[in-house]
């Protein structure tokens, strides 16, 4: 096996791991900006505007000859994608994270693959055969993931201390978790997760009729900026919320726009065309671990025992679901190989059946020759 073949196989994994590090940074810097008073409505507008400005030149240059024709159904899908992710998902995520914490929101987001699997199953993008082991694994993994999320939400437990935060004054979440803000934040995060899952499924479907990842990313960011801008103008009065300087708020908008919107949409689209939406969402536990470490170091966040137990249960269910998906992929490849071989056999058989035998008469000999 050559180096090129090895790179082709590991490239989707490298891309998804890279994205998780990018998302982890976004979880931390966005919480820091929101706690400094930045409006999440304005942050969403700036984030998508930056992403559109960065990705558009690449889309215009690299896809100028392969960009499909825009039709009304494709345009409506792009408008729906702009509503689902930039407007609903990002706004509710920022509000939910503000009411809870970066580490809690990143851990709870591990239910995303299970939600995506359920959406894909309802829309018949995922097939279930209850008699097969890989289908059973997908169902059990989804149920275990939901149980882990419930543990995180309903059970707090004692605070877990790590080597790097031992003896430090941590950010107290007990008060927040005892009032309605924490519950409201959790519900917002769950709704955000559902919107993001629907975005993945619809993006996967849209790429089949509009297979231009960079152009699609640009259009989603542009429509998202317009829709989010309308929401922000309605929710935020005056010019003060829109003014930002060279500080953490500007860095958050630029970083989130380039890394977590522009680059993320493109890489997700490329990997999704090959592996599907469930594979793309299967790497979230890595982000959770990174955010837990960074959140406790930078933001001095608490990590409770209930959150750790729930996260571990979610990861177990998640990788049970991934195993079922990988088995699906192997079975599909085997079936395709068998079908290809069967077609080849039929073609060979048909070519033999239709061979014409021509009876060539012996050459006539001249008279007088025996």
Quickly state the pLDDT bin for 312 (edges 50, 70, 90). Answer: confident
Give burial (CB, 10 Å; 0-12/13-18/19+) of 312: middle
Residue 151 within a domain: yes
Spell out the SS3 assignment of 156-190: CCCECCCHHHCCCCCECCHHHHHCHHHHHHHHHHH
Burial class of residue 5, CB neighbours in 10 A (0-12, 13-18, 19+): exposed
pLDDT for 278: 67
Per the model's pLDDT, the better-predicted residue between 279 and 57 turns out to be 57
pLDDT reported for residue 178: 47
Which range, of 12-26, 109-123, 129-143, 156-170, averages the lowest pLDDT?
156-170
Task: Give backbone dihedrals phi and psi of 171, rounded to 5 degrees, phi first.
Answer: -70, 120
- The count of structural domains within the chain is 1
Q: How do residues 195-211 score in pLDDT, each as one tens digit?
A: 988 998 898 889 889 98
Q: Which domain holds residue 225?
A: 3-336
Question: Within 13 A of 270's CA, how many CA atoms are on the CB side?
Answer: 15
User: What is the mean predicted confidence (pLDDT) over 253-276?
Assistant: 83
**Distance separating the N- and C-terminal Cα atoms of the chain:** 66
Per-residue pLDDT at 164: 55
Q: Is residue 166 part of a domain?
A: yes
| Averaged pLDDT for residues 142-160 | 81
In a domain, 289, yes or no: yes
State the average pLDDT for the chain.
78
Question: Residue 342: inside a domain, yes or no?
Answer: no
The verdict on residue 200 lying in a domain is: yes
Residue 162 included in any domain: yes
Average pLDDT rounded to a whole number, residues 76-85? 94
Q: Look-up: residue for tokens 């993320």?
A: 264
Residue 367 in any domain: the answer is no
- Distance separating alpha carbons of residues 167 and 163, to the nearest angstrom: 9
Q: Residue 107: inside a domain, yes or no?
A: yes
């Amino acid at each position: 096996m050559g180096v090129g073949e090895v790179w082709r196989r590991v490239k989707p994994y490298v891309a998804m791991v890279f994205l998780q590090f990018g998302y982890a940074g976004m979880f931390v810097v966005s919480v820091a900006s929101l706690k400094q008073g930045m409006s999440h409505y304005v942050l969403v507008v700036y984030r998508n505007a930056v992403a559109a400005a960065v990705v558009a030149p690449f889309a215009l240059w690299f896809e100028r000859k392969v960009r499909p024709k825009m039709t009304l159904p494709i345009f409506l899908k792009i408008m729906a994608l702009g509503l689902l992710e930039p407007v609903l998902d990002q706004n509710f995520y920022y509000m939910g994270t503000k009411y809870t914490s970066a580490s809690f929101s990143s851990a709870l987001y591990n239910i995303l693959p299970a939600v995506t699997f359920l959406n894909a199953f309802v829309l018949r993008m995922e097939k279930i055969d209850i008699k097969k082991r890989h289908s059973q694994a997908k169902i059990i993994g989804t149920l275990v993931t939901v149980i882990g999320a419930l543990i995180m939400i309903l059970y707090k437990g004692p605070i877990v201390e790590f080597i790097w935060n031992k003896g430090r004054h941590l950010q107290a979440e007990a008060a927040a978790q005892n009032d309605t803000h924490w519950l409201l934040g959790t519900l917002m995060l769950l709704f955000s997760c559902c919107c993001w899952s629907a975005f993945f499924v619809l993006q996967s479907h849209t790429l089949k009729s509009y297979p231009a990842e960079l152009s699609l990313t640009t259009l989603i960011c542009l429509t998202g900026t317009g829709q989010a801008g309308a929401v922000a103008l309605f929710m935020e009065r005056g010019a003060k919320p829109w003014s930002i300087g060279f500080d953490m708020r500007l860095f958050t908008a630029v970083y989130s726009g380039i890394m977590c919107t522009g680059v993320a949409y493109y890489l997700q689209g490329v990997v999704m065309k090959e592996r599907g939406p469930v594979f793309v969402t299967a790497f979230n536990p890595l982000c959770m671990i990174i955010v837990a470490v960074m959140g406790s170091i930078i933001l001095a966040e608490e990590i409770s025992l209930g959150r750790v137990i729930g996260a571990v249960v979610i990861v177990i269910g998640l990788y049970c679901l991934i195993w079922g998906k990988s088995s699906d992929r192997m079975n599909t490849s085997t079936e395709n190989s068998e079908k290809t071989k069967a077609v080849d056999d039929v073609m060979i058989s048909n070519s033999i059946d239709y061979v014409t035998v021509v009876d060539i008469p012996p050459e006539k000999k001249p008279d007088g020759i025996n």
